[in-house]
Amino acid sequence: MRLALRGTAPRWLTPVLLLITVVVTFAITAGPIRAAGAAPGAAYERYVLTPLSSPASFYEVLLAATPLLFTGLAVAIAFRSGYYNIGAEGQFLAGAMGATAVALAWPDLPRGIALPVAFVAGAAGGALWALIPALLRVKLDIDEVVTTLLLNPVALLLLQGMLNGPWRNPVNQFPESQAFSGSYVLPSVIPGARVHLGFVIALALAVLAWLVISRTATGLRMRAVGLAAPAARFSGVSVQRTLLGSALASGAIAGLGGMSQVCGLQGQLTGEISSNFGYTGIVVATLGGLTALGVVLVAVLLADITVGAESAARVLQLPPQMGQVLTAVLLLVTVSLLVFRRYRLVLRPSRPPASTRQPSTPTAEHAGVSP
Amino acid sequence: MIDILALIGAMLVAATPLIYAATGEVLTERAGILNLGIEGTMYAGAFSGFLVAAKTGSPWLGLAAALVLGVVAGALMGLLVVTLGVNQHVAGIGTTLLLIGASEFTNRLLYGGGALVQIDKFGLLFPDVPVLGQYVLTYVALIVVVPFVWWLLRATGFGLRVRAVGENPEAADAAGISVARTRYAALMGGGALMAAGGAFLTLAVVGTFTLNISNGRGWVCIALVIFARWRVWPAVLGALLFAGVDALQLQLVITPAFSGIPRELMLALPYLVVIAALAASGRGLVYPGAYLKPYRRA
């Protein structure tokens, strides 16, 4: 049994593979759900369907999808250029800190100025956090995976340091910032729901990312570098500049996610501003096939599971961590099965019969190559 | 004043999990596979070791459970990146998310996330002697595991096969080496070492399981392996450097002269030192030839 390259995948294959993905994911996770004393059927209904069943909970899904849209887009843009930015988590936190810095420094700005300023500060924070690994990669050829990863805990420590030091709440002495003044709060976009302007900005960014990647020369260069850097270089693309650009754009988008989270949902900076949104962004980008539309769909799906996991914890007493397990299994099963779009399973042995491999006996194979 | 002997003792304790896990990562990367599942493997190793030790009362059985878990985690990575040829970054991050999620899920299920269960943990060898008063696992790491893996990679047929499939799998295959079998073996052996590093945290240092117990140590090991240029002893040196800075910051925090410096800055110091060390030594890195590349016969 082995995998062999296929020519073109038949049309029906991808939908069938996705269907199998769902079945396999459910089959794998049914065990732990049973072990927790819940019926798998009822649990999946909670995870997937319940959040979509009423407008109020659907708006909660959109709210939960907002940070994942930002980090998913950030990761997708970087991965597309072959820049493996695993640091969206740190860049998200840096963006949140950037927005917090301006919100605390100039609380009295009118909203029309305050929000754009916070927007720029968030993007700048994220880009700044992405800058060092990007420079190390471009100038010294140091693997960005390691440096972006290592800067994630550093960003969290910086955040905690700021909250324990200069930004500590002067009123109650908790390690969290003061509540931002109203002009820094992203307004709700649906009356009565918590979905805020950040969601709309994220969607706009997704459209922009799609336009840039698929319709501009910059996007072509990014894709060329990601697919085959030597070939791109040979055809005159500056690989270094493209990588640097994608890395900074990726960091800026992740930083905007942090800004959207502090100014949208919380209205203040706390130590728990990110619940692994940066790492989940890698899942979102990968499952979304590194495309803008894919990122949007997967972000909403994972948000659906997240909101569903909370509901399952309340109603079925399923530990909320099951949501993370489900997401991880879904990721691994999907990437495994998508291999079959390019390869097909061949059921005959991979080696030719042993007799033709004996070097002592001359064979047709050997005869064929000898002059 | 800084107590040098206490500092060295603390450094060895902090270095032990890194030494195990970084040695395991050297093994897998030499076979051409970046195993980002390392963080999750350490985490799940810490949890499974704790769980079995808590149920049986024996830290040795806990360690055995962690080793088994590490082998299984390595086999899972093998299925993903060797058999199926999935992108190694994605497979590794996915494995880490899965193992951390599964550990926390099981922990929540069994212990409700509340009460801390203390286990019988490993004792110190020579508890009254400074510096030498260390856990058995620290001695095992430095005297048995690291020299063994060094010898394995350098002087055995298996080590030669590992390096061959990591440098040039086509040539290795042509020479009759099974690329897949060798990579699976490296991943499973490496996984066992990573899990042992994690188990050291619960079975020796802490004596219980707490959330976020591995705290990014796996990522540190990824950096150490590159810093060490995929060699075992330099990785140990890197682990000692990181742990030394870590132990130093713990001492400085309680030293009055340094009390004005924020604790978080001190905690961030080891990470920054590793990045600086990478930047200083990073020029002219030669990655294993088949790094990140799945192998399939043409």
Rounded distance between C-alpha atoms, residue B81 and residue B63, angstroms: 27
Q: Tell me whether residues B105 and A322 touch, CB distance under 8 A.
A: yes
Structure tokens at A241: 């500049």
How does DSSP classify residue A196? B
| Pair B30, B166: CB distance under 8 Å | yes
Asked if the Cβ–Cβ distance from B264 to A150 is below 8 Å, we say: no
Residue of A131, A150, A279, A324 best to disrupt the B interface, most CBs of B under 10 A = A150
The candidate with the shortest Cα–Cα distance to A171, out of A272, A268, A273, A98, is A268
Residue bearing the bigger pLDDT, A209 or B212: A209
* Element spanning A1, H or E: none
Cα–Cα distance between B7 and B9 in angstroms, integer? 5
The answer to whether A122 touches A231, Cβ cutoff 8 Å, is no
Point out the residue among A153, A319, A350 whose CB comes nearest to the CB of B271.
A153
Q: Give how far the C-alpha of residue B233 lies from the chain's centroid of Cα atoms, to the nearest Å.
A: 14
Give, for all 371 residues of chain A, the pLDDT tens digit: 678 888 787 888 888 998 999 999 999 999 999 999 999 999 999 999 999 999 999 999 999 999 999 999 999 999 999 999 999 999 999 999 999 999 999 999 998 999 999 999 999 999 999 999 999 999 988 889 889 999 999 999 999 999 998 999 888 888 899 999 999 999 999 988 999 999 999 999 999 999 999 999 999 999 999 999 999 999 999 999 999 999 999 999 999 999 999 999 888 999 989 988 999 999 999 999 999 999 999 999 999 999 999 999 999 989 989 999 999 999 999 999 988 888 888 876 655 544 444 444 444 444 333 33
Interchain CB distance below 8 Å, B223 and A146: yes
> Is the Cα dihedral A18, A20, A26, A29 positive or negative?
negative
Q: Are A63 and A195 in contact (CB under 8 A)?
A: yes
Exposure b/e, A136-166, CB count within 10 A at least 16 = b: bbbeeebbbbbbbbbbbbbbbbbbbbbbeee
Cβ-defined contact of A152 to B223 (cutoff 8 Å)? no
ipTM of the modeled complex? 0.92
Residue A264 one-letter amino acid:
G
Distance from CA of B133 to the nearest CA of A (A): 31
Report the distance separating Cα B38 and Cα B197, nearest Å.
10
Q: To probe the interface with A, which of B51, B105, B179, B224 has the most A CB atoms within 10 Å?
A: B105
* Closest CB to B222 among A146, A319, A332: A146
Residue among A5, A34, A146 with most chain B CBs within 10 A, to mutate: A146
Task: Give A345's DSSP letter.
Answer: E
Task: Determine if residue A211 is left, alpha or beta; phi over 0 gives left, psi from -120 to 50 gives alpha, anything else beta.
Answer: alpha
Closest CA to B268 of A92, A156, A96, A166: A156
Nearest by CB to residue B93, choosing from A152, A161, A282, is: A282
Of B93, B95, B279, Cβ closest to residue A142: B279
pLDDT at A370: 36
User: B39: exposed, middle or buried (C-beta count within 10 Å: 0-12, 13-18, 19+)?
Assistant: buried
Reported as a single tens digit per residue, the pLDDT across A235-292 is: 999 999 999 999 999 999 999 999 999 999 888 999 989 988 999 999 999 999 999 9
**Which H/E stretch holds residue A191?**
none
Q: Which residues of chain B does A321 touch, with a Cβ-Cβ cutoff of 8 Å?
A: 101, 104-105, 108
On average, the pLDDT of chain A sits at 90
Q: Are B279 and A152 within 8 A, CB to CB?
A: no
| Alpha-carbon separation of residue B48 from A36, B55, B73 (angstroms) | 18, 11, 12
Distance (Å) from the alpha carbon of A188 to chain B's nearest alpha carbon = 32
Both tokens of B18, joined, read: 């890194």
Smallest CA–CA separation between B36 and chain A, in Å?
Answer: 10
Q: Out of A5, A324, A335, whose CB is closest to B97?
A: A324
Whether the per-residue pLDDT at B134 is higher than 80: the answer is yes
Nearest to A262 by CA among A162, A192, A149: A162
Q: Which of B126-135, B137-146, B260-269 has the highest mean pLDDT?
A: B137-146
| Residue B189 tokens, joined | 């052996």
How far does B255 lie from chain A, in Å, by closest CA? 19
Q: Is the predicted pLDDT of residue B44 greater than 70, yes or no?
A: yes
Interface probe for B, chosen from A283, A321, A329, A365 (most Cβ of B below 10 Å), is: A321
Least confident of A329-333, A346-350, B65-69, B206-210: A346-350
Q: What residue in B sits closest to A317 (Cα-Cα)?
A: B109
Nearest CA in chain A to B271: A150
Domain boundaries, chain B: 4-281
CB contact under 8 A, A331 and B97: yes
Look at residue B115 in the predicted model and tell me its pLDDT: 61
Q: How far apart are CA B62 and CA B68, in angstroms?
A: 10
Angle (CA) A308 A94 A178, round 5°: 80
For chain A, domains (ranges, CATH) are 1-36+319-371 (no CATH), 61-317 (1.10.3470)
Say how far apart CA A270 and CA A285 lie, in whole Å.
Answer: 26
CA distances from A101 to A168, A259, A343, A355 (A): 13, 11, 51, 74
CB contact under 8 A, A161 and B265: yes
Q: Which residues in chain A touch residue B219, judged by CB atoms under 8 angstroms apart?
A: 146, 149-150, 152-153
Give the pLDDT confidence score for residue B1 in this predicted structure: 55
What Å distances lie between residue A240 and A141, A221, A249, B271, CA to CA? 10, 11, 14, 26
* CA-based nearest distance A99→chain B, Å: 21
Chain A: closest CA distance from residue B91 (Å): 7
Contact B101 A32 (CB under 8 A): no
- Which structure tokens are listed for A211? 């336009």
The reply to whether residue A154 touches residue B272, judged by beta carbons under 8 angstroms, is: yes
Distance set, CA A337 to CA A76, A308, B172, B206, B290 (Å): 20, 25, 28, 40, 23
Q: Is B130 helix (H, G, I), strand (E, B) or coil?
A: coil
> Domain B4-281 falls in which CATH fold?
ABC transporter involved in vitamin B12 uptake, BtuC (1.10.3470)
Taking CA atoms, what residue in B is nearest to A84? B89
pLDDT in tens, B90-109: 999 999 999 999 999 999 99
pLDDT at A332: 96
Would you place residue B251 in the very low, low, confident or very high pLDDT band (cuts 50, 70, 90)?
A: confident
Beta bridge partners of B135: B124
Interval B176-197: pLDDT, tens: 999 999 999 999 999 999 999 9
CA distance B174 to A105: 66
* DSSP H or E stretch at residue B135: strand B134-135
DSSP structure class, residue A183 = G
Strands A343-346 and B124-125, by their bridges, are unpaired
Beta-carbon separation of B89 and A145 below 8 A? yes
Q: Determine the distance in angstroms separating the CA of A285 from the nearest CA of chain B, rounded to an integer.
A: 10
Instruction: Give A-chain residues touching B94 at CB under 8 angstroms.
Output: 283, 328, 331-332, 335
Say if residues B73 and B226 touch (Cβ distance below 8 Å). Answer: no
Q: How many CB atoms lie within 10 A of CB A16?
A: 13
At position A256, the amino acid (one-letter code) is L
Question: What single-letter DSSP state applies at residue A188?
Answer: B
With CB atoms and an 8 Å threshold, state whether A152 touches B216: yes
